[in-house]
């Protein structure tokens, strides 16, 4: 039996970060005869005030109000009887003390930076992060690093050239119920209201699109939590007012579950024009509903064009406009083919139920478990 512990900021049912869902789906899918998982998370993004949750006999979660002493103490307590400690952030404050405890206890260690080493991300609080990385470099030969795409893998190799090992495994998902809804004339963005997401470019592009397709709208699903995100949200509202798009661009706020899936399923396409994205779980959520995706070339989604499930484009107003118009101008049959391709891509490449063996074999390999 291989036991894995995950110390992280947020976990399902929280929807405040990608790992909250992707790690939940992973832990649910692991074969209970050979694997067990313990999660130590904060209550960030939770609606309920529960302190713990048992999803199964081999899948337990402890929630804490903060990432302070109690969180760290619980993580260290659990790692002593675990085989693997899997971190989903380099810069999450408890990572360093728990990492040092894992090294002292001779545990197998995995770190998934999840985009934190990308230039757009690391430039924020750059000095602090540089110091953090220099400390982790001292122990890199004891750490396995996990990337979700090959571009991130190269960044990890450059940053930690003496790492014990590196591997690429994409995020997988538990396929939701596919909703068969009428498709509207709306494009949708889902994610944080954050400058890194380039939402301002989408607003400028939709202003161009409606010149020839006046019934088109842009739905923005997501919230601004941090101060600089709230400031960015205000600039977006000012931009919408200046361009007279109050009836075209709609902010829906944060949506979860089937409500969010309905918005995605009924949209012409999901738009992800980010400056950087190490994966983008929202792409899977769209593909699972058969909704095509238009993602920027700063994301690892070249496969969208390979499988004719959407577009992979340079994130400029001109390119976003041109490719939105391409989608709108597809005939009914070609558009339906694109929707079918989107669903089939998700089902074949990213369904956790048919790909869980990738993680199981990886865990077995790095622990020398037979």
Each residue's pLDDT expressed in tens, for the chain with a length of 370 residues: 999 999 999 999 988 878 899 999 999 999 999 999 999 999 998 887 778 888 888 999 999 999 999 999 999 999 999 999 999 999 999 999 999 999 999 999 999 999 999 988 888 888 999 999 999 999 999 999 999 999 999 999 999 999 999 999 999 999 999 999 999 999 999 999 999 999 999 999 999 999 999 999 999 999 998 899 999 999 999 999 999 999 999 999 999 889 999 999 999 999 999 998 889 899 999 999 999 999 999 899 999 999 999 999 999 999 999 999 999 999 999 999 999 999 999 999 999 999 999 999 999 999 986 4
The per-residue pLDDT for 84 is: 98
Q: Strands, DSSP E only, in 148-259?
A: 165-168, 186-190, 217-221, 249-253
Structural contact between residues 41 and 9, judged by C-beta atoms closer than 8 angstroms: yes
Q: Where in the chain is the domain with CATH 3.40.50.2000?
A: 2-172+352-366, 186-349
Name the residue with tokens 């994409």: 170
- Cα distances (angstroms) measured from residue 80 to each of 36, 62, 100: 14, 16, 12
Whole-number pLDDT of residue 125? 85
Assigned fold of 186-349: Rossmann fold (3.40.50)
Q: Give CA–CA dist 182/178, Å, rounded.
A: 13
Give the number of residues written for the chain.
370
Query: Topology of 2-172+352-366 in CATH?
Result: Rossmann fold (3.40.50)
| Span 122-178, pLDDT tens digits | 888 889 999 999 999 999 999 999 999 999 999 999 999 999 999 999 999 999 999
Phi/psi at 53 (5° precision) = -155, 135
pLDDT in tens, 226-263: 899 999 999 999 999 999 999 999 999 999 889 999 99
Q: What is the pLDDT of residue 368?
A: 87
Task: Count other Cβ atoms within 10 Å, centred on residue 139.
Answer: 18
pLDDT value of position 17: 78
- The pair of structure tokens assigned to 313 is 């484009």
Within 10 angstroms of residue 28's Cβ, the number of other Cβ atoms is 18
DSSP state, 70? Answer: H
User: Which residue has 């070249």 as its token pair?
Assistant: 302
The DSSP 8-state label assigned to residue 196 in this structure reads G
Is residue 37 within 8 Å of 5, Cβ to Cβ?
yes
């Amino acid at each position: 039996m291989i036991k894995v512990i995950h110390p992280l900021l947020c976990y399902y049912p929280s929807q405040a970060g990608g790992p909250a869902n992707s790690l939940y789906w992973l832990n649910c899918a692991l074969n209970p005869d050979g694997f067990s998982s313990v999660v130590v998370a904060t209550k960030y993004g939770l609606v309920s005030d529960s302190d713990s949750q048992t999803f199964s006999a081999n899948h337990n979660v402890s929630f804490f109000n903060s990432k302070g002493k109690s969180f760290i103490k619980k993580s260290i307590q659990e790692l002593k009887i675990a085989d693997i400690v899997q971190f989903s952030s380099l810069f999450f404050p408890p990572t360093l003390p728990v990492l040092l405890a894992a090294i002292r206890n001779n545990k197998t260690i995995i770190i998934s930076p999840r985009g934190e080493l990308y230039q757009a991300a690391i430039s924020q609080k750059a000095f602090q992060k540089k110091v953090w990385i220099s400390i982790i470099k001292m122990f890199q030969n004891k750490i396995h690093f996990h990337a979700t795409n090959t571009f991130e893998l190269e960044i990890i190799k450059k940053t930690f050239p003496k790492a014990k090992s590196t591997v690429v495994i994409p995020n997988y998902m538990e396929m939701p119920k596919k909703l068969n809804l009428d498709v509207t004339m709306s494009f949708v963005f889902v994610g944080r209201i954050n400058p890194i997401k380039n939402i301002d470019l989408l607003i400028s592009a939709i202003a161009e699109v409606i010149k020839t397709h006046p019934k088109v709208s842009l739905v923005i699903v997501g919230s601004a939590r941090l101060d600089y995100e709230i400031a960015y949200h205000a600039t977006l509202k000012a931009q919408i007012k200046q361009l007279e798009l109050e009836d075209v661009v709609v902010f829906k706020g944060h949506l979860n579950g089937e409500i969010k899936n309905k918005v995605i399923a009924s949209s012409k396409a999901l738009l992800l024009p980010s400056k950087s994205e190490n994966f983008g779980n929202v792409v899977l959520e769209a593909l699972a509903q058969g909704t095509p995706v238009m993602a920027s070339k700063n994301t690892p989604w070249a496969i969208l064009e390979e499988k004719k499930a959407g577009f992979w484009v340079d994130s400029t107003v001109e390119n976003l406009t041109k490719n939105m118009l391409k989608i709108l101008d597809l005939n009914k049959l070609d558009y339906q083919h694109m929707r079918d391709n989107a669903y089939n891509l998700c089902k074949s490449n990213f369904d956790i139920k048919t790909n869980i063996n990738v993680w199981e074999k990886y865990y077995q390999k790095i622990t020398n478990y037979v």
